[in-house]
A and B are shown apart, each in its own frame.
Chain A
Amino acid sequence: MGLNEFLFLLAGLKWTLALSAIGFVGGGVVGLVVALARTSGIAPLERAAASYIGLFQGTPLLMQLFVVYYGLALVGLKLDAWVAVAIGFTLHASAYLGEIWRGSIEAVPRGQTEAAKALSLNYVSRMKDVILPQAIRISLPATIGFLVQLIKGTSLAAIVGFTELARAGSIVSNQIFQPLLVFGVVGALYFAMCWPLSLYGAWLERRLATATR
């Protein structure tokens, strides 16, 4: 594998990072709405959010990408492949993050909500100033764990035909006929992205565990 092939992999890696970032940020925004709906106390809204989460957690990411990819084309949206894939990851991430954050919101002691209500804070202020700051702290290890899942998941965009790191690897592998070397390097690149995050998540979890003990 020469320098050119390696640079091609790095160009793919750039797209992996971009997809992960878009999916995480977009999924975070939508996921917050999902989490708030899931904990809203309004039965139909909670049920809708629960079904949304269940739909994404009960089906393979690859199928979600396919359905979004072809579904968007079907309703007449002529989108670039990468936009369609980015939307797919955003929806996927929103369901998982919504579920993680629901758990964190519910993990904040009830007394906090009651105290905020007693102080006659409205819903927005109660969430923004009292519940969410505490929930975010609790959710951080799981959120980072999901970010690792998401980065790994972006490799499935390769099957849809989008050239990110994994597909760049397939292309190079087909060119130079050294699949083990190429996929070894590709794996190492993913590892270099994910492992520090995993370690950070584990560290946060340990710290949180000692803090709440």
Chain B
Amino acid sequence: MNYTLDFLPVIDGLPSLLAACLGTLGLALGGMILAIIIGVGGVMLRDSGIRQVRWFVIAFVELIRNTPFLVQIYFIYFALPLAGIRLDPTPTAIIALGINGGAYAIEIIRGGVQSIGKGQIEAGLALGLHKAQVFRLIVLKPALRAIYPSLTSQFILLTLTTSVASAIAAYELTSVAQRIESDSFRSFEVYGAVTLFYLVMSWLLMRVFGLIQSRYLSYPVK
């Protein structure tokens, strides 16, 4: 064994690696926003009372949750241009992350909605609130408190998943790392350092989400 570790390429690449961390967080944030939109929309469609729509949502969730993200992102990457939509890899990755996260968000939000007692909804309707008002005021807000922990851990998972977006060369940490690696051949050093970056990011996110929860969401429920 006569290999000496050389972290110089990592140090030289530090500015672009740190910038790429922001790219990763941006991908995750964009994907999560889309995921929540799909999640809320999906739950409303699922509970719309129209049978075909309900089955469509269920099929979407099962399909996404039982296939790998890599296959999904490839499929979307090739499908969008055929549908006449030409996008750069990065927005394409956000769409793929949003669709993937959306399926999980539907399940999470549905769980939150189900945690709201039926009596509360009936009471809201009895008070003459519109269906949309009942959803927004009586279902969504308290449900948000219930689903916050799962939703935030889903966000961290999505952040880790963004590394797969390197497969279509979206701008994020892993693809920048791959570029530095192929220039320097210091594979272990580069990927080791980047792994640490991911660890710090998910730890920071965990702390921030925990802080927000104890600050804004943890007032006495009873």
Contact = CB atoms under 8 A, between A and B. Distances in A.
B56 interface: no
A170 B161 contact: no
A187 interface: yes
Contacts of B69: 152, 155
Given A75-B1, A155-B70, A58 B188 contact: no
A154 B69 CA distance: 11
Given A70-B187, A194-B67, A63 B174 contact: yes
Majority secondary structure, A binding face: helix
A67 B187 CA distance: 8
Nearest to A148: B66
B66 A194 contact: yes
Contacts of A70: 187-188, 191
A153 interface: yes
Given A60-B161, A71-B188, A195 B62 contact: yes
Interface in B173-191: 174, 187-188, 191
A8 interface: no
B63 A191 contact: yes
Contact of B66 (A62, A64, A190): A190
Interface stretch (A40-48, A132-140, A178-186): A178-186
Contact of B198 (A60, A154, A166): A60
Nearest to A155: B68
Given A59-B198, A180-B75, A184-B75, A198 B70 contact: no
Contacts of B191: 63, 66-67, 70
Contact of B71 (A63, A71, A74, A169): A169
A156 B198 contact: no
Contact of A170 (B74, B156, B160): B74
A71 B1 CA distance: 12
B24 to A, nearest CB: 10
Give the most central of B1, B3, B82, B187: most A CB within 10 Å: B187
A40 to B, nearest CB: 24
A153 B68 contact: yes
Interface in A177-213: 179-180, 183-184, 186-187, 190-191, 194-195, 198
A66 B187 contact: yes
A55 interface: yes
A195 B63 CA distance: 8
A33 B79 CA distance: 45
A154 B70 CA distance: 10
A176 interface: no
B141 interface: no
A115 interface: no
A179 B174 contact: no
A183 B66 contact: no
Interface string B56-99: 00000011011111111011001100100000000000000000
Interface stretch (B11-19, B29-37, B126-134, B162-170): B162-170
B199 interface: yes
A156 B65 CA distance: 16
Give the most central of B72, B191, B192, B202: most A CB within 10 Å: B191
Contacts of A59: 160, 195, 198-199, 202
Nearest to B164: A62
A74 B189 CA distance: 10
Interface of B: 1, 3, 62-63, 65-72, 74-75, 78-79, 82, 156, 160-164, 166-167, 174, 187-188, 191-192, 194-195, 198-199, 202-203
19 contacts: A58-B202, A59-B198, A60-B161, A60-B164, A62-B164, A70-B188, A70-B191, A74-B3, A148-B66, A152-B69, A159-B70, A159-B167, A173-B78, A187-B67, A187-B71, A187-B75, A190-B66, A190-B68, A191-B67
Q: Which 6 A-B pairs give the minimum distances between C-beta atoms?
A: A155-B68, A179-B78, A194-B66, A60-B163, A152-B68, A66-B191
